[in-house]
């Protein structure tokens, strides 16, 4: 499907993962139509910067609009694949009045896209779902068949969107695949995410804030691995299926900090705070489906990936004013 140059749509193109995906698709020779509302969850300037490479490419266009408001049938016309990464991410801020944003960007935006795809068929819709749909899983590594029981409002909205895609598939034949990313990291990582915050605290000589005892584990996934799995999911025989994309091993937050100390040769002070509501204690992916169906394998080790993110952070952070994400 993506074997020959095609026109593809990437929603959430200006975001962390979306911008890397655009670059990969452009490098593969595709015409990429990006859609992004440039939401203010974190600074818009960062999102423009994320797209610096893509925007310089003749085969890239960006539509700056909210998916709920715009005519998506027009946007997807002529596309073979839609990669739907737009959404309101962030597990911990999804409580209280912020929830409305999660419903709007994760559920309503997805429903509008699915309605457009009824009108304008495509060969594949790849939806960016999340390990947060599992909540506190009963088994590790967690298979796609595990009963999803989110513990955050965010996770619930991602699960709702995933179900919506399959509802439209069953009724209208929309060829949907859902990929579940596990805590993605690397250059351009969102400023609210752990590694980015840790690095910021390091260079600012502030305490590193850890939610809970730091013995929670995550299956951290390097961004180029996540992107590679996403591209493969567009062509593989996985319509109607869910595919975990996990980095290959579970690591505690404390161990990440040990590795970061080693890489940066800096010794951060650690401050342990209460665990955050909505955070699962552990995540861990069974990646056998991705191995078998996508012929995908994570390639970047945590140490190598963390080194790349640290180098990127040092190269870009000096230029930036400090803004605390909301």
CB of 158 to ligand NAD, least distance (A): 6
37 contacts ligand NAD (rule: CB under 6 A) = yes
Taking CB under 6 A as the criterion, the residue among 10, 79, 113, 128 binding ligand NAD is: 128
CB of 305 to ligand UGA, least distance (A): 13
For 151, list phi and psi in degrees, rounded to 5: -110, 5
130 contacts ligand NAD (rule: CB under 6 A) = yes
Is 85:227 a contact under the CB 8 Å cutoff?
A: no
247 contacts ligand NAD (rule: CB under 6 A) = no
Select the binding partner of residue 109 from ligand NAD, ligand UGA, none (C-beta < 5 to 8 A, by kind). ligand NAD
Give 9's Cβ-side CA count (13 Å radius).
29
Task: Say how far apart CA 101 and CA 105 lie, in whole Å.
Answer: 6
CB of 314 to ligand NAD, least distance (A): 20
Task: Say how far apart CA 81 and CA 234 lie, in whole Å.
Answer: 7
CB of 300 to ligand NAD, least distance (A): 14
Select the binding partner of residue 169 from ligand NAD, ligand UGA, none (C-beta < 5 to 8 A, by kind). none
In DSSP notation, 96-164 reads GGGHHHHIIIIIIHHHHHHHHHHHS--SEEEEEEEGGGSBS-SSSSBPTTSPPB-SSHHHHHHHHHHHH
Task: Say how far apart CA 36 and CA 87 lie, in whole Å.
Answer: 9
Select the binding partner of residue 232 from ligand UGA, ligand NAD, none (C-beta < 5 to 8 A, by kind). none
The interface region with ligand NAD, picked from 86-94, 260-268, 283-291, 293-301 by CB under 6 A, is 86-94
User: Cα(first)–Cα(last) distance of the chain, in Å?
Assistant: 40
Residues at the interface with ligand UGA (CB under 6 A)? 89-91, 130-132, 181-183, 193-194, 197, 209-211, 216, 218, 253, 276, 279
CB of 50 to ligand UGA, least distance (A): 16
Secondary structure percentages of the chain, helix, strand, coil, to 5? 40, 15, 45
Select the binding partner of residue 67 from ligand UGA, ligand NAD, none (C-beta < 5 to 8 A, by kind). ligand NAD
Q: 100-119 mask for ligand NAD (x: CB under 6 A)?
A: -----x---x----------
Q: Taking the CB of residue 215, how many other CB atoms lie within 10 A of it?
A: 12
Select the binding partner of residue 54 from ligand UGA, ligand NAD, none (C-beta < 5 to 8 A, by kind). none
Is 11:85 a contact under the CB 8 Å cutoff?
A: yes
Widest distance between CA atoms in the chain: 56
Task: Say how far apart CA 101 and CA 186 lie, in whole Å.
Answer: 26
38 contacts ligand NAD (rule: CB under 6 A) = yes
Select the binding partner of residue 279 from ligand UGA, ligand NAD, none (C-beta < 5 to 8 A, by kind). ligand UGA
| Residues taking part in catalysis | 154
Are β-strands 217-218 and 251-252 bridged in parallel, bridged antiparallel, or unpaired? antiparallel
Taking CB under 6 A as the criterion, the residue among 9, 15, 83, 229 binding ligand NAD is: 15
CB of 218 to ligand UGA, least distance (A): 5
Binding footprint of ligand NAD on the chain (CB under 6 A): 11-12, 14-18, 35-39, 41, 47, 66-68, 85-89, 105, 109, 128, 130, 158, 181, 183-184, 190
């Amino acid at each position: 499907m993506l074997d020959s140059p095609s026109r593809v749509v990437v929603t959430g193109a200006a975001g962390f993962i979306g911008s890397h995906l655009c670059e990969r698709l452009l490098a593969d020779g595709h015409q990429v139509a990006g859609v992004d509302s440039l939401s203010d969850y974190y600074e818009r300037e960062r999102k423009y910067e994320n797209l610096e490479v893509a925007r310089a490419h003749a085969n890239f266009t960006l539509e700056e609009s909210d998916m709920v408001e715009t005519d998506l049938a027009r946007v997807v016309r002529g596309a073979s694949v839609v990669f739907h990464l737009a959404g309101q991410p962030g597990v911990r801020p999804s409580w209280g009045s912020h929830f409305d944003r999660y419903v709007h960007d994760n559920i309503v935006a997805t429903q509008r896209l699915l309605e457009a795809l009824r009108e304008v068929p495509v060969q594949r819709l790849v939806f960016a779902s999340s390990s947060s749909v599992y909540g506190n899983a009963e088994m590790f590594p967690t298979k796609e068949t595990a009963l999803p029981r989110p513990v955050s409002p965010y996770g619930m909205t991602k699960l709702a969107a995933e179900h919506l895609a399959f509802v439209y598939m069953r009724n209208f034949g929309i060829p949907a695949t859902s990929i579940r990313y596990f805590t993605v990291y690397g250059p351009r990582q969102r400023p609210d995410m752990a590694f980015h915050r840790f690095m910021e605290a390091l260079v600012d000589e502030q305490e590193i804030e850890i939610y809970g005892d730091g013995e929670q584990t995550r299956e951290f996934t390097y961004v180029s691995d996540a992107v590679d799995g996403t591209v493969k999911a567009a062509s593989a025989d996985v319509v109607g299926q869910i595919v975990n994309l996990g980095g290959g091993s579970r690591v505690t937050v404390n161990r990440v900090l040990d590795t970061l100390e080693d890489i940066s040769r800096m010794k951060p002070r650690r401050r342990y705070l209460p665990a955050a509501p909505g955070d699962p204690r552990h995540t861990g992916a069974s990646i056998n489906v991705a191995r078998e169906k996508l012929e995908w394998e994570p390639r970047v080790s945590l140490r190598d990936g963390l080194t790349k993110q640290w180098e990127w952070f040092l190269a870009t952070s000096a230029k930036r004013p400090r803004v605390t994400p909301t």
